[in-house]
């Protein structure tokens, strides 16, 4: 359960050495009736304030004096885990430090505002507010510190499958938000080289999606890249939607291809899972597998229902393994889900689909 209710506001602690950023964050978040905001110029001050009021969410810069944000994050996650969002110009550049922050327990990334309060875009404010609410609902656990290193791809597939045609016929679409980077890592690293083509929307700022895709490419047997307009979706490849752009799938003859477009927020997001899933229903129909993972809100629920109505097999991550059970829960409530599975079983379902064109046995359609 989230650590707040209607009578207790979400206690947000913004830790950033930039006075401008602190001002913007305070102005934007304090307008929300369910949020109370405190600011600190560095982690030392933050720890003093945390003794007085324990925050529900920390919004954390990575580059600060006296103690860097990553060291502070590791300390928090080891001693008293609190959902933490990384907000840093470092994050915007997609550096290794941000990947390390996610692996040390940060639940997401938000873009640091570059301008003053008056110029902070409405869409940016909406996404920041939603990210904070989602983080407040996240379940985080004590973690041990460990280094994150890229590993070379295995020389051979761990699972042998029959060849999968590269023509249209089997394609997988995955949507995720808060907690999704860890879930996607577990799923994609289990995929053999001849897996069906995979397209992914993970709610994440622009530029960082490229770094996430590159990091996954270094540790997966399949090829992973940030999607570009016109990319052909073939077996053994996964595409991550670029931050701040919508991604959809179109058909060119017998081939599926990616379309990357601008446009307004859909379901309060860009990229939106709904945009991807709606396109999958139109062009792939029963040849598709749709998977919705951890995240807050309802992005993807309507699109997944359309996929199921078009004959696709659909899977939702179960509550016990979600960081936030919002998106899967909403999809289940709408009747969009054929099967509910724990995270550790989803990669097996995907491999089974790639081999046979079906999910795990429909006789066991709900596994909690």
DSSP per-residue codes, 126-189: HHHHHHHHHHHT--------------PPPSS-SS------SSTT-EEEEEE-TTHHHHHHHHHT
Among 18, 88, 177, 248, the one annotated catalytic? 177
pTM, rounded to two decimals: 0.86
Among 56, 203, 269, 278, the one annotated catalytic? 203
Whether 319 shows a pLDDT value over 80: the answer reads yes
For the question of residue 177 being annotated catalytic, the response is yes
Average pLDDT of the residues of the chain = 86
Pairing of strands 10-15, 84-87: unpaired
Query: Cα torsion for 41, 46, 52, 57, to the nearest 10°?
Result: 110
Spell out the domains of the chain, with CATH numbers in brackets. Answer: 10-136 (3.40.50.2300), 171-364 (3.40.50.180)
Phi, psi angles (nearest 5°) of residue 113: -65, 135
For the question of residue 286 being annotated catalytic, the response is no
> How remote is the C-alpha of 298 from its chain's centroid?
14
Whether 277 shows a pLDDT value over 90: the answer reads yes
Give residue 114's pLDDT.
Answer: 64
As beta bridge partners, residue 256 has: 251
Average pLDDT on 92-99 reads 68
pLDDT band at 7 (very low <50, low <70, confident <90, very high): low
Among 134, 231, 299, 347, the one annotated catalytic? 299
Pairing of strands 339-341, 35-40: unpaired
- Tell me the C-alpha distance between 23 and 240, whole Å: 33
Tens-place pLDDT, residues 201-259: 999 988 889 989 999 999 999 999 999 999 999 999 999 999 999 999 999 888 999 99
pLDDT band at 168 (very low <50, low <70, confident <90, very high): very low
Tens-place pLDDT, residues 46-65: 999 999 999 999 999 999 98
Tens-place pLDDT, residues 126-137: 889 999 999 999
18: left (phi over 0), alpha (psi -120 to 50) or beta: beta
């Amino acid at each position: 359960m989230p650590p707040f209710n209607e009578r207790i506001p979400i206690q947000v602690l913004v830790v950033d050495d930039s006075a401008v950023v602190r001002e913007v964050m305070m102005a934007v978040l304090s307008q929300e009736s369910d949020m109370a905001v405190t600011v600190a110029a560095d982690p030392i001050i933050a720890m003093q304030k945390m003794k007085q009021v324990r925050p529900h969410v920390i919004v954390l810069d990575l580059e600060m004096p006296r103690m860097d944000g990553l060291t502070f994050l590791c300390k928090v996650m080891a001693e008293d885990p609190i959902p933490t969002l990384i907000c840093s110009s470092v994050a915007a550049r997609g550096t290794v430090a941000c990947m390390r922050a996610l692996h040390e327990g940060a639940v997401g990334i938000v873009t640091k505002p570059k301008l003053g309060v008056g110029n902070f875009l409405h869409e940016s404010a909406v996404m920041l507010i939603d990210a904070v609410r989602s983080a407040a609902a996240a379940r985080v656990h004590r973690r041990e510190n460990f280094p994150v290193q890229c590993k070379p791809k295995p020389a051979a597939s761990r699972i042998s499958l029959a060849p999968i045609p590269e023509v249209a016929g089997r394609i997988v679409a995955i949507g995720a938000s808060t907690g999704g980077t860890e879930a996607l890592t577990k799923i994609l690293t289990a995929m053999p080289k001849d897996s069906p083509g995979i397209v992914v929307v993970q709610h994440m700022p622009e530029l960082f999606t490229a770094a996430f895709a590159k990091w996954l490419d270094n540790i997966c047997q399949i090829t992973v890249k940030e999607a570009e307009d016109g990319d052909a979706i073939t077996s053994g490849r996964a595409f991550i939607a670029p931050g701040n752009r919508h991604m959809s799938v179109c058909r060119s003859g017998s081939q599926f291809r990616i379309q990357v477009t601008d446009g307004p927020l859909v379901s309060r997001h860009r990229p939106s899972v709904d945009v991807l899933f709606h396109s999958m229903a139109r062009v792939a129909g029963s040849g598709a597998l749709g998977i919705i993972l951890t995240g807050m809100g309802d992005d993807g629920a309507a699109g997944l229902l359309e996929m199921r109505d078009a004959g696709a097999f659909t899977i939702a991550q179960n509550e016990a393994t979600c960081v936030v059970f919002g998106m899967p829960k909403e999809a289940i409530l709408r009747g969009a889900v054929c099967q509910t599975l724990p995270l550790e079983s989803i990669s097996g379902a995907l491999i089974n689909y790639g081999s046979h064109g079906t999910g795990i046995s429909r006789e066991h359609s709900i596994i909690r």
